[in-house]
Amino acid sequence: MRGDWRGIAKKNKARTRWVILAFFLIYAVLGTVIDWIYLYSEGQFSTEFEISVTVIFMLTLAFSSYLAGRFFAKSMMLQGLDYHEIKAQSDQQEDKVLYGIVEEMKIAASLNYMPKVYIANCAFMNAFATGWNEKNAAIVITRPLMDALNRDELQAVVAHEITHIRNQDVRLSSSIFVMSGLLLFLIDVIFRSVIYGGESKQKEKGGALPVLLVVLALRILIPFITMALGMFLSRSREFMADSGAVELTRQNEPLARALIKIHQQHQSQASLGDEYANMPNESLRSSSYLYDPRMSGFQNWLNISQWFSSHPSLEQRLKELGYNTKF
């Protein structure tokens, strides 16, 4: 039995659109707050609503940061890794097999360009895709993962990463990363300007408290909201990549078995946490991995940890794949 990959893909595409819209809405709200702060501080506050130049500027800034993130260099994702590229003419037979699998999945996914294929020499089993378009995309598989999987399982992992490339998930994630970072910077600037800014008519009257409370609330809430939205988007894209792997391979079991094998290695070797932590630029790669070691297995009853995780729990992924087993 296979999961409903078409339904999963459709559902998560809709989620993606809502998350991106939410980010633009936050920028618009922040522009409105900036206007309100200025007008209130100068004693010119009005209850009439109109789209101001500030709101338009903030929306333009949001769109610009969204575009800027789409050109985030893949080299940053590879920094700190001990890796080498493999080609069809590689000496190692297993490397040739991997290259052939990537080529098969590239054709199945109707990609126009062949992704580069890298083997990373790490202690852990994992994989990820990088690159801001098809032409400069790459798939990275760690050596322990290659050694542990059979051909069907390796094909499913490659199909998952190929789906990320096809869906342009790396560009999308980079865009959200830039938009979130800029939002945090802007709210910090606003907060500091309110705290340390010059005199205003409301300050002279002792009426600056409402402004301070609003800005303080935004400074506390926006980091949580942007993180929760970004992680929600990341989880949605992981579900889409899982469903894409089922679409390309026409099987659900190989990917499920691969995820379970990766999970079992991470559960049995606690030292792998240090391996991740000691690698440069790991924070950039963490949300792109096939498997997030922080989401090790089952979700808790409130799902609080899930809100701020880049990946669904293994339990959720197996359920969506239509694979029922104990692990």
Q: What is the model's pLDDT at position 169?
A: 84
Q: How far does Cα 158 stand from its chain's mean position?
A: 18
The residue-averaged pLDDT of 302-315 equals: 76
Residues 6+ apart with CB under 8 A from 48: none
CA distance 303 to 300: 5
Give the confidence band of 303 by pLDDT, cuts at 50, 70, 90: low
Q: Tell me if residue 204 is catalytic.
A: no
Among the CATH numbers 2.40.40.20, 3.30.2010.10, 3.40.50.850, 3.40.366.10, which is that of 75-169+245-321?
3.30.2010.10
pLDDT tens for each residue of 103-114:
999 999 999 999
Give the confidence band of 99 by pLDDT, cuts at 50, 70, 90: very high
The position carrying tokens 């202690």 is 123
Q: What is the model's pLDDT at position 256?
A: 96
pLDDT tens for each residue of 212-258:
888 888 889 988 898 888 888 889 889 999 999 999 999 999 999 99
Q: Would you tell me the crossing angle of helices 151-166 and 93-108 to the nearest 10 degrees? A: 50
Catalytic residue among 42, 50, 161, 320: 161
Beta-bridge partners for 128: 140
The residue-averaged pLDDT of 35-43 equals: 70
Positions of E strands within the chain? 83-86, 116-120, 127-130, 138-142
Closest CA to 264 of 285, 293, 286: 293
Plot region of 275 (φ>0 → left; ψ -120 to 50 → alpha; else → beta): alpha
Q: What is the model's pLDDT at position 135?
A: 86
Output the DSSP codes for 56-110: HHHHHHHHHHHHHHTT--THHHHTT--EEEE-TT-SSHHHHHHHHHHHHHHHHTT
Strands 116-120 and 138-142 come out as parallel
The position carrying tokens 């980079």 is 174
pLDDT at residue 12 above 50? yes
pLDDT at residue 152 above 80? yes
Largest CA distance in the chain: 79
Q: What percent of the chain has pLDDT over 70?
A: 82
Q: What is the model's pLDDT at position 327?
A: 58
Q: How far does Cα 95 stand from its chain's mean position?
A: 28
Q: What percent of the chain has pLDDT over 90?
A: 31
CA distance 186 to 192: 10
